[in-house]
Structure 1
Amino acid sequence: MHPDDWHLTHDLDAFLDRAGDFLASRPAMHTVPLTLADGLRRRGLHAFGDKDPVFGVLEKDGAVGAVFLRTPPYWINVTPLTEEQADALAVRLASAGHEVPGVSGASDTAAAFAEAWQRRTGAEPQLWQRQRLYRLGELTIPEPVPEGAPRVAGAADRDRLARWFEEFGESVGEHNLQDSGAWADARISYGGATFWETPDGTPVSMAGATPQVAGQVRVAPVYTPAPLRGRGYAGAATAEVSRAARASGAREVLLFTALANPTSNGLYQRIGYRPVADYAVYRFGE
C-alpha cells in the first residue's frame, strides 16, 4: 500500500464519478459520506463552512477500496479501513499539509487512523464519542402514544428549527459550526424535519431525516427541549419519521446514537432499530 494510492481532490463531481458506485455498494456503512456528498451537491460546496471540502479515494489497479470526506471545519469521515490503509492515508494527508482536526468512522478504523496520525504528526488523539449505528427492522410504535400528532415543518417554523438545532448541538456537547438558519432552510426545502405537536398545535419535539440517497435515509437529529422530556414525544416523532422514510421507498432507515446515552439506545430499540456497527469520533489536539 502506497500513500499515493490515495487520490485527493476538491472536485465533488470527480469524486463521485470515481467513488459513487463504491459508496452505493454499502449504503448503511457508507451513510455519512453518502449524505454529506448529497448535502454538498444540493447546497453547494460551502454548505458546512467557508473552506473547500476535501475528498479522497483509495484506488489500486482500478478498484476503489475506501474513501474519505472532510467538510471544514469538521473532521474527516472515513469508510472502513485496514491499519495499512489508515497509515497510508495519514502519510498522504500529512505530506500534503492537510489540517485534520479529528476523525469519525467505524471504531477500529477511527482508532487505526488516530494512532497513525499521532505517529506521523505527533498530534495526540482524544476519544470524544462512541456511537452505534442502527438499522430499522420491524417498526413498532412506542406505547403509550402521547396526545397530539406529527407535522412536517414549513417556512413559518424556520426560527424554531434553527433554535432547536442550536440547542441540540449544545445538548450533545458539540457547538454547531454551520449556520443554523441555513440548516433550517435546507431541511424545510425537502420536508426534512417533523414536529410532534400537542393537541393545541404546540411543537414539543423534533425528528429530522436526510434525503434518500442510494436507497438509505438517516434519521437525525432528534431533539426535545429539556422541560418536555420523558413524555414520549421523541419516540412518537422518531417513529413517524421512520414510518415516512420507509413509506417513501427507502430500503435502509438508519440512525446513530451516543453509546453513553442508555435512554436513547433503549428507545430506538423499542421502536425496532437493530445494531449495525459501532463508531467512534476522535479529536486531535485542543
Structure 2
Amino acid sequence: MEIYRFEDINRFYERSHNYLLSDEAHHCLLLRIIHGLIHSPERYEFPAYLALVEANGAIIAVAVRTPPYKLVISQVKDFAALQVIAEDLHNQQALLPGVSGLVEEAQAFAEIWQRLTGTTYTSGIQMRIHQLSQVQPTAKASGYLRHADVGDLDLVLEWFEAFFLEALGFVEEDLQRLVSLQLSKKIIYLWEDIVPVSIASGKISTPNGGWIGPVYTPVEYRQKGYATSCVAALSQALLDQGCKNCFLFTDIANPTSNHIYQTIGYQPVCDWHDYAFENLSC
C-alpha cells in the first residue's frame, strides 16, 4: 500500500478521475473541489493537499483538503488506506479542523485521527447526497429565475450569511471575496417575484453533472414554493447546458428541504457525515 501526493492538480486529476467517476454521485463533492482547483484556482489561498492511496497498482482511496477547510475523503476500498492518509498528514504536522465523507469512511478516519493525535472529535452536520437526471413537473411559483449580478452583492452577502448561520452555525471569513468571485462567474441565481425572494448557486462541476447549493429563502418568503421553483428552474438550466445529472446536499434533520427536492426529481443516493476535531472551526 503506497500513498502518492501531488502538487499539480491536473496530474492529480489525471491519476484519480477514473476512480472518482466510477461512482460520480458518491464523489460529487470531491469532483466539485477538483473542478474548482482546475478552473478557479484564484478561489483558493493556500496549497491543496492532494493524495491517493494505491494497493497492487489500483487506487483504493482519494483525499483532498483545501485549507482552511476539512479533509474530504472518497469512498474507500480498503479502510487501512485511511491509516496511511492520517499518518501522512500527521507527519506533515497538519492541524486538521475535521473530516467529511461517506458515513463509515468519515467516522473511521475520525477515530484513527483521535488515536494518532489525541485530538477529540464531535459529530457535525449529517447530510444526504441527492441526484437528479430529469426535472419532474411541479406547480410553478410566481416569478422567474435570473442571474444575480454585482448590483445584488449586498443582498447576496446578507442571504448567504443567513444561510451559513442557519445551516452551519458559522460564516465563512472571506465570504465577500467568494461571493464576488461567484458573481463574476455568473453562478448565483435569484428567483424574483417583483423583488428577489430566493437564492441558489449552480454550476457544472463534474464531467457529467452540475452542483446546486447553497439554496436559501428568507423566512418571510417561505412556504410559497419559491425555493422549489428556483431549484427546479436552475436544475433544468444545467441539464440544458449538457449535464446528465445534478447533485445537491441536504441536511438530514431538515425534512422540509428533503421533501422539496424529491418532488422536483432529486433522489437520495447516500448519507454524508461531517466531524470536527477539538474546538477548531472550518
TM-score, normalized by the shorter chain, greater than 0.5: yes
With 238-247 and 18-27 compared, the bigger mean Cα shift is at 18-27
Cα contact 2:60–2:81 (8 A) shared by 1: no
Match of 1:98 in 2: 94
Q: Which of 248, 253, 258 is the matching residue for 2:251?
A: 258
Question: How much does 1:137 deviate?
Answer: 4.3
Q: Deviations over 1:182-211 (max 9, x none)?
A: 32233233331221111x2x1010111132
Q: Is structure 2 residue 193 aligned with structure 1 residue 213? A: no
Q: Distance between the aligned counterparts of 1:176 and 1:51, measured in 2? A: 19
Q: Distance between the aligned counterparts of 2:181 and 2:169, measured in 1? A: 20
Q: What letter is aligned with 1:13?
A: N
Secondary structure in 1 matching 2:176: helix
Structure 2 unaligned residues grouped into runs of 5+:
none
Question: How much does 1:26 deviate?
Answer: 2.5
Identity rate, percent: 32
Q: Which of 70, 77, 81 is the matching residue for 1:85?
A: 81
The TM-score normalised by the length of structure 1 is 0.90
Q: Is structure 2 residue 266 aligned with structure 1 residue 236? A: no
Secondary structure in 1 matching 2:141: coil
Q: How does 1:123-272 map onto structure 2 within 5 Å?
A: 123-143=119-139, 145-198=140-193, 200=194, 202-272=195-265
Q: What letter is aligned with 2:25?
A: A
The TM-score normalised by the length of structure 2 is 0.92
Question: How much does 1:44 deviate?
Answer: 1.9
Secondary structure in 2 matching 1:150: strand
Structure 1 unaligned residues grouped into runs of 5+:
none
Q: Distance between the aligned counterparts of 1:39 and 1:264, measured in 2? A: 26
Q: Is structure 2 residue 19 aligned with structure 1 residue 26? A: no
Match of 2:53 in 1: 58
Secondary structure in 1 matching 2:52: strand
Secondary structure in 1 matching 2:269: strand
With 169-178 and 124-133 compared, the bigger mean Cα shift is at 169-178
With 98-107 and 167-176 compared, the bigger mean Cα shift is at 167-176
With 125-134 and 145-154 compared, the bigger mean Cα shift is at 145-154
Q: Distance between the aligned counterparts of 1:87 and 1:210, measured in 2? A: 34
Question: How much does 1:146 deviate?
Answer: 2.1
Match of 1:15 in 2: 12
Cα distance change on mapping 1:162 and 1:40 into 2, 3 Å: farther
Secondary structure in 2 matching 1:210: strand
Q: What letter is aligned with 2:124?
A: W
Cα contact 2:146–2:191 (8 A) shared by 1: yes
Cα distance change on mapping 1:178 and 1:44 into 2, 3 Å: farther
Q: Deviations over 1:132-156 (max 9, x none)?
A: 101114422433x221111122232
With 124-133 and 183-192 compared, the bigger mean Cα shift is at 183-192
Q: Distance between the aligned counterparts of 1:216 and 1:178, measured in 2? A: 29
Q: Deviations over 1:107-157 (max 9, x none)?
A: 1110111111111111111100111101114422433x2211111222322
Q: Distance between the aligned counterparts of 1:174 and 1:76, measured in 2? A: 19
Q: Distance between the aligned counterparts of 2:21 and 2:185, measured in 1? A: 21
Q: What letter is aligned with 1:36?
A: I
Secondary structure in 1 matching 2:108: helix
With 175-184 and 61-70 compared, the bigger mean Cα shift is at 175-184
Cα contact 2:128–2:250 (8 A) shared by 1: yes
